[in-house]
């Protein structure tokens, strides 16, 4: 083995010396090249490249190691000239003249180089422009590196200068493109801090809020949970969730929309399995049984676990990791912005760190719930069973919430009606009550019974909204004819043409072009709760529906995440729903108006008005 290693070392040294001779570098001499102790740095360490956007200009930066240099003549900036133009680059230094053995007298740059490159994007091609940056450098010791090419994405509309006219910028942190640009131009601590804060805000969105009863139930299932134990379990859950977000984000960003792990985990078999698990956990909290392995296996595991610290924390960690993918599969603006950055720059490390910080931010309220629940839970007695039963009801609610993605809306309403009715019965709705707390619980129980009956009636009449189960009655009997007609028109104006593939989309756009109407393309999936929230609370509203009637409405259903769905997502460089794209009357996308993540009614109406005004 030692002889083989010696032979390989000799071959490498001989090849290095030969390369110097072939490139004309005779000043070093063969012997000096062969026996030098110096080691050449990898090209990305010798010339550390970075880019940012400042005041509408692209700023390119190289941090050049000592005894290395870049050639001015080998710097190249390439774009698709049909989409934009480049201005004259402005260099931070004039450079040094050098008699180079390879290229003769040339201008080279040492230490640090910054280039301000004006970029103009054609208005009819959107607000994004890919660029290729090429450069080449050498080491003073004689090694010349091959030319390097970096691909970056310039986004024009994400930065606007403040009214004060200084260099400060107003960051748009509500859209994916704005967050993308924020990552491009900010330091690592700033990125981590902002994503941490964005994560805290995301905790209270429809896709994440169902995690609260899960972590509460974990704490409630412990015997005499102390503050430290509650914190340990809560943090384990959040850590698993955060690592999953970071890992899934990096994988999806690097491999594209085809690696949509969350969509794969929305398969019926997975959702049904998790729903059964949550129901079994709930029944255990109701006191029907204790979930445990057979005695022989349990004793062996208990003996083994005595030597493993934090055994339960590992299990909770895994629950958190899976919950992040199954319970909260929707794409938010922070997640989409980070994925855009990863896919454009291949900076998986920064993307992963930002998503990890976002996961930790989402976990702060969850940890507060877990620790607070652990401190507030009664230590013994009847109240302990009541609280555990309450968390059991929440777990069944999460199970129904997961099954909503698979079952017809009428069946879902019946399940909610059954859960609420049984809960009311357990609260004593049909039992005689004395004064005090018993009457209070009975009153609440009777109210829940009324709501359960209403849900059942709504299911029988074809309603699909648990918050408005009597929608068919209120639409026909309790409003005047004009209002009913208006609601009917609104319903008709928000009917989407459903597509599943690129060919179907092209056909719809071609038909829309002949009618001279712009196109609104909504990406939807049955497992995307935010999509359903927007349909129920945004698209159906009168003003939004009226503005949407100005568009040809198209809905891309990517529930199955099959090859056709993936191709459709990849065509528009999307990572999942909810996402909304706009196209002009000629079928060209208006990229500057893209929406990624959930929007409320006011934001969506403002977006529609802005798009229509630009046409």
Look at residue 527 in the predicted model and tell me its pLDDT.
76
Phi, psi for residue 137 in degrees, rounded to 5: -145, 175
3-state secondary structure 188-228: HHHHHHHHHHHHHHHCCCCCCCCHHHHHHHHHHCCCCCCHH
How far apart CA 240 and CA 234 sit, in angstroms, is 10
Do 470 and 491 sit in the same domain of this protein? no
How many other C-beta atoms are found inside a 10 Å radius of the C-beta of residue 88?
7
Domain with 57 in it: what CATH number? Answer: 2.60.40.1250
Do 228 and 274 sit in the same domain of this protein? yes
How far apart CA 180 and CA 343 sit, in angstroms, is 11
**164, part of any domain:** no
Query: Which positions ≥6 away from 395 have C-beta within 8 Å?
Result: 213, 214, 217, 278, 279, 281, 282, 285
**311, part of any domain:** no
How far apart CA 570 and CA 565 sit, in angstroms, is 9
Q: Which one of 156, 191, 206 terminates a domain? A: 156
DSSP 393-404: HHHHHHHHHHHT
Question: In this predicted model, what pLDDT tens digit does every residue of 171-217 receive, in sequence order?
Answer: 555 666 667 666 666 777 888 888 888 888 777 666 666 677 777 77
Query: Which positions ≥6 away from 190 have C-beta within 8 Å?
Result: none
Is the pTM higher than 0.75? The answer reads no
How far apart CA 183 and CA 249 sit, in angstroms, is 15
Do 396 and 261 sit in the same domain of this protein? yes
Q: Which one of 358, 377, 406 terminates a domain? A: 406
Angle at which helix 211-220 crosses helix 268-285, to 10 degrees, equals: 40
Q: Write out residues in the chain with pLDDT < 70, as ranges.
A: 1-38, 55-56, 102, 123-127, 156-178, 180-185, 204-210, 219-225, 249, 252-267, 287-312, 325-334, 336-337, 339-347, 373-385, 387, 474-494
**185, part of any domain:** yes
Coil, strand or helix at 412: helix
Domain with 493 in it: what CATH number? Answer: 3.40.30.10
Q: Which one of 368, 390, 406 terminates a domain? A: 406
Q: How many structural domains is the chain composed of?
A: 5
Do 233 and 332 sit in the same domain of this protein? yes
Do 395 and 494 sit in the same domain of this protein? no
Do 277 and 133 sit in the same domain of this protein? no
How many other C-beta atoms are found inside a 10 Å radius of the C-beta of residue 147?
13
How far apart CA 135 and CA 410 sit, in angstroms, is 62
Do 227 and 321 sit in the same domain of this protein? yes
How many other C-beta atoms are found inside a 10 Å radius of the C-beta of residue 227?
11
Coil, strand or helix at 342: helix
**394, part of any domain:** yes
Pick from 39, 426, 432: which is nearest to 418 by CA? 426
**275, part of any domain:** yes
Coil, strand or helix at 95: coil
Helix (H) or strand (E) holding 112: strand 112-121
Tokens 């974990």 identify what position? Answer: 218
542 contacts 490 by C-beta, under 8 angstroms: yes
Q: What six digits make up the tokens of 172?
A: 């748009």
Look at residue 100 in the predicted model and tell me its pLDDT.
72
Q: Which residues of 379-414 are buried (b: 16+ CB within 10 A; e: fewer)?
A: eeeeeeeebbbbbbbbbbbbbbbbbbbbeebeebbb
137 contacts 145 by C-beta, under 8 angstroms: yes
**163, part of any domain:** no
Do 432 and 362 sit in the same domain of this protein? no
Do 441 and 519 sit in the same domain of this protein? no
How far apart CA 493 and CA 547 sit, in angstroms, is 9
Length, in residues, of the chain:
615
Do 23 and 137 sit in the same domain of this protein? no
| C-alpha angle 481-483-489 in degrees, rounded to nearest 5 | 100
How far apart CA 8 and CA 286 sit, in angstroms, is 70
Pick from 88, 93, 156, 84: which is nearest to 124 by CA? 84
Question: In this predicted model, what pLDDT tens digit does every residue of 230-251 receive, in sequence order?
Answer: 788 888 888 888 888 888 767 7
Q: What is the DSSP letter of 578?
A: S
Q: What six digits make up the tokens of 303?
A: 């003996």
92 contacts 115 by C-beta, under 8 angstroms: yes
Look at residue 77 in the predicted model and tell me its pLDDT.
92
How far apart CA 591 and CA 604 sit, in angstroms, is 16
Look at residue 177 in the predicted model and tell me its pLDDT.
60
**305, part of any domain:** no
Do 24 and 128 sit in the same domain of this protein? no
Do 59 and 179 sit in the same domain of this protein? no
Domain range spanning residue 467?
408-477
**166, part of any domain:** no
Query: Which positions ≥6 away from 63 have C-beta within 8 Å?
Result: 47, 48, 50, 112
């Amino acid at each position: 083995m030692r002889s083989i290693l010696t032979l390989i070392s000799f071959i490498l040294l001989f090849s290095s010396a030969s390369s110097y001779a072939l490139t004309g570098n005779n000043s070093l001499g063969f012997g000096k090249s062969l026996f030098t102790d110096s080691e050449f740095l990898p090209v990305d360490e010798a010339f550390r490249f970075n880019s940012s956007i400042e005041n509408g200009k692209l700023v390119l930066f190289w941090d050049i190691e000592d005894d290395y240099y870049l050639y001015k003549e080998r710097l190249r900036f390439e774009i698709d000239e049909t989409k934009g133009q480049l201005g004259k680059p402005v260099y931070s230094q004039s450079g040094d003249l050098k008699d180079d053995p390879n290229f003769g007298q040339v201008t080279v740059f040492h230490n640090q180089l910054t280039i301000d490159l004006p970029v103009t994007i054609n208005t009819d091609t959107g607000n994004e422009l890919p660029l290729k940056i090429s450069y080449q450098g050498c080491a003073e010791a004689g090694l010349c590196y091959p030319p390097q090419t970096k691909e970056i994405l310039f986004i024009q509309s994400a930065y606007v200068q403040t009214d004060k006219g200084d260099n400060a910028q107003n960051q748009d942190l509500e859209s994916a493109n704005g967050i993308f640009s924020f990552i491009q131009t900010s330091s690592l601590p700033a990125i981590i801090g902002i994503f941490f804060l964005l994560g805290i805000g995301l905790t209270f969105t429809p896709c994440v809020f169902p995690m609260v009863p899960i972590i509460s139930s974990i704490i409630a299932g412990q015997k005499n949970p102390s503050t430290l134990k509650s914190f340990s379990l809560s943090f384990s859950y959040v850590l698993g969730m955060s690592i999953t977000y970071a890992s899934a984000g990096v994988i999806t960003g690097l491999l594209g929309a085809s690696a949509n792990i969350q969509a794969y985990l929305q398969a019926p078999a997975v959702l049904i399995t998790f729903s059964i698990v949550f129901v079994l956990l709930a029944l255990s909290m109701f006191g029907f049984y204790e979930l445990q392995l057979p005695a022989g296996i349990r004793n062996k595991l208990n003996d083994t676990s005595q030597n493993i610290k934090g055994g339960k924390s590992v299990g909770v960690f895994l629950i958190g990791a899976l919950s992040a993918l199954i319970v909260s599969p929707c794409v938010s603006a922070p997640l989409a912005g980070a994925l855009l950055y990863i896919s454009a720059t291949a900076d998986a490390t920064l993307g992963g760190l930002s998503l990890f910080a976002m996961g930790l931010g989402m976990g702060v309220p969850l940890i507060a719930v877990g620790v607070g629940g652990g401190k507030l839970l009664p230590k013994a007695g009847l109240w302990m069973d009541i609280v555990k039963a309450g968390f059991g009801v929440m777990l069944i609610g999460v199970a129904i919430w997961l099954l909503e993605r698979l079952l017809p809306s009428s069946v879902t309403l019946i399940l909610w009606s059954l859960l609420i009715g049984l809960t009311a019965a357990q609260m004593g709705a049909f039992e005689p009550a004395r004064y005090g707390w018993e009457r209070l619980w009975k009153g609440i129980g009777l109210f829940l019974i009324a709501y359960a009956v209403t849900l059942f009636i709504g299911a029988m009449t074809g309603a699909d909204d648990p918050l408005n189960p009597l929608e068919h009655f209120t639409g026909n009997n309790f409003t005047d004819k004009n209002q009913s007609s208006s609601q009917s028109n609104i319903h008709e104006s928000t009917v989407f043409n459903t597509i599943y593939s690129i060919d179907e989309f092209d056909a719809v756009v071609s038909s829309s072009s002949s009618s001279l109407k712009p196109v609104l393309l909504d990406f939807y999936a049955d497992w995307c709760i935010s999509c359903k929230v927007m349909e129920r609370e945004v698209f159906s509203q009168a003003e939004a529906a009226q503005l949407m009637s100005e568009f040809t409405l198209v809905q891309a259903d990517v529930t199955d995440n099959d090859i056709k769905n993936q191709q459709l997502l990849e065509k528009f460089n999307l990572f999942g729903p909810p996402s909304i794209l706009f196209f002009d009357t000629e079928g060209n996308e208006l990229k500057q108006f893209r929406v990624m993540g959930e929007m409320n009614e006011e934001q969506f109406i403002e977006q529609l008005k802005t798009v229509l005004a630009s046409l």
